[in-house]
Amino acid sequence: MSTSAGCCQGCLHYVFDYETTKTLVIPSIRLGCAFRFTQLLVVLYVVGYVCVVQKAYQETDSVISSVTTKVKGFALTNASDMDPRFWDVADYIIPPKGDHSFFVMTNMVVTPEQTQTRCPELPSPSTICADDCDCTEGHSDPRGNGIQSGLCVNYSSTVQTCQVFSWCPLEIDTELPQHALLAAAENFTVLIKNSVTYPKFNFHRRNILPHINSSYLKRCQFSRATDPDCPIFRLKDIVSEAGEEFQDMAVKGGILGIIIDWSCDLDWWAGKCYPKYSFHRLDNKNPVNNVAPGYNFRFAKYYKAPDGEETRTLIKAYGIRFDVIVFGTAGKFSIVPTIVNLGAALSFLSLVPVVSDWIMLTCTKKKDLYGKLKATYLSEDAEAEAMSMGTSYGTQ
């Protein structure tokens, strides 16, 4: 017999012969039950935890979302130092584009009629002066409000401060109204239109659900108890749901997250996939270490006087920024995660005999007997004997 023929025969052996393990059957109810119970535990774990609880058989995809917001409402301010003024959407929504983040101005410090000129600095330890020597021409203090002209001028009848070149008169933002000017903003409403896509599953959905009709949308207002599907929210309700008081928040402003959770199980009929709204304040309300608490920014409206000089009205706007945050993961049955997770879990089944054997060989009364019957110990003299035996079972 040549080597190649032997090799070929060896290969054929793998194809034409079937090799199965020899086993020892032990008629023991205890061992049998222990073995099956352990197997059952593994199977229960696979079915119960991996499949039902964790849905590990699903492929997942992240949401792609588009948001439009539209605020409605108007208010009248009647502060003692100002004329009555009417405010509508174009006045208090800055910037006007209604996308996923919109700002509603609720309070403000207005500094009208500013021009590029010289005026005395606001009094502070570093700006109060006795005469011109205390002020340096061209000096600009990062915490100041302009470039010093080098003169020391009267700020009031009692205080002298360095003169600066700046937009004058300077803004005095310490006089923030303690009751929000646009307190009526709590009754404004916002319509949030949100359409989402799960590109992997080619799934599209809007937050205006199919069963909602036009007449309902015209009069409804979101309420977790009675109208959980209405996409129109009263600002006060949003703030309340986040555990805050609107009038408190309106004074210094803040950031409020409108969180839309689109987590869906697309294995069931798709109608079950609907948005879940929740509301959280995103900035820190009363931290010990807060600089610039609340939320505000400055913007200006520019005018040109008839003589061509530019003037501006500076507005330090305090208000609530609403951030619509859309998140979600959709899951759908897919063969790969199923195989991976089932396979990984089933591989534990192959550890069960190891455990059962260990129990059999250590914890049973007849462990010595079982050990002897299960394992054949190969000793030196057995080798010689075996060498003279034939290879097949039949020739014994």
Q: What is the CA 156 to chain-centroid distance, rounded?
A: 52
- Binding of its own copies by 125 (CB under 8 A): no
Report the C-alpha gap between 282 and 272 in whole angstroms. Answer: 29
- Binding of its own copies by 367 (CB under 8 A): no
Instruction: Output 179 or 372, the one with its CB closest to its own copies.
Output: 372
Site for its own copies in 12-51 (CB under 8 A): 14-29, 31-36, 45, 49-50
- The response to whether 296 counts as a known ligand-binding position is yes
- Binding of its own copies by 353 (CB under 8 A): yes
Instruction: Output 131 or 306, the one with its CB closest to its own copies.
Output: 306
Shortest Cβ 190–its own copies spacing (Å): 12
Site for its own copies in 327-346 (CB under 8 A): 327, 335-336, 339-346
Binding residue (CB under 8 A) for its own copies from 153, 176, 229, 297: 297
Q: CA 344 → CA 35, 188, 337, 353, distances in Å? A: 20, 54, 10, 17
Report the C-alpha gap between 78 and 71 in whole angstroms. Answer: 22
- Which residues, in sequence order, are CB contacts of 26 under 8 Å at separation 6+? 360, 370
Binding residue (CB under 8 A) for its own copies from 91, 173, 237, 267: 91
Site for its own copies in 139-178 (CB under 8 A): 140, 142, 145-147, 165-167
Binding residue (CB under 8 A) for its own copies from 43, 110, 176, 325: 325
Site for its own copies in 244-273 (CB under 8 A): 255, 257, 259
Give the pairing type, strands 329-333 and 264-265. Answer: parallel
Q: CA 234 → CA 77, 87, 191, 274, 281, distances in Å? A: 20, 17, 9, 21, 16
Q: Name the burial class of residue 95, with classes exposed (0-12), middle (13-18) and buried (19+) by CB atoms within 10 angstroms of its CB.
A: exposed
Query: By the 8 A CB rule, do 208 and 75 touch?
Result: no
Query: Using CB under 8 A, which of the segments 174-182, 242-250, 266-274, 387-395 binds its own copies?
Result: 387-395
Angle between helices 367-374 and 352-363 (to 10 degrees): 130
Query: Using CB under 8 A, which of the segments 10-18, 148-156, 235-243, 269-277 binds its own copies?
Result: 10-18
Binding residue (CB under 8 A) for its own copies from 8, 314, 318, 333: 314
- Binding of its own copies by 179 (CB under 8 A): no
Site for its own copies in 206-225 (CB under 8 A): 206, 208, 210, 212-214, 217-218
Query: Using CB under 8 A, which of the segments 1-9, 123-131, 240-248, 288-296 binds its own copies?
Result: 288-296
Size of the site for its own copies (CB under 8 A): 152
Binding residue (CB under 8 A) for its own copies from 9, 47, 52, 85: 85
- Binding of its own copies by 202 (CB under 8 A): no
Residue type, 233: F
Report the C-alpha gap between 43 and 219 in whole angstroms. Answer: 53
Give the pairing type, strands 64-72 and 264-265. Answer: unpaired
- The response to whether 55 counts as a known ligand-binding position is no
First to last CA, the chain: 25
- The response to whether 285 counts as a known ligand-binding position is no
Query: By the 8 A CB rule, do 222 and 230 touch?
Result: yes
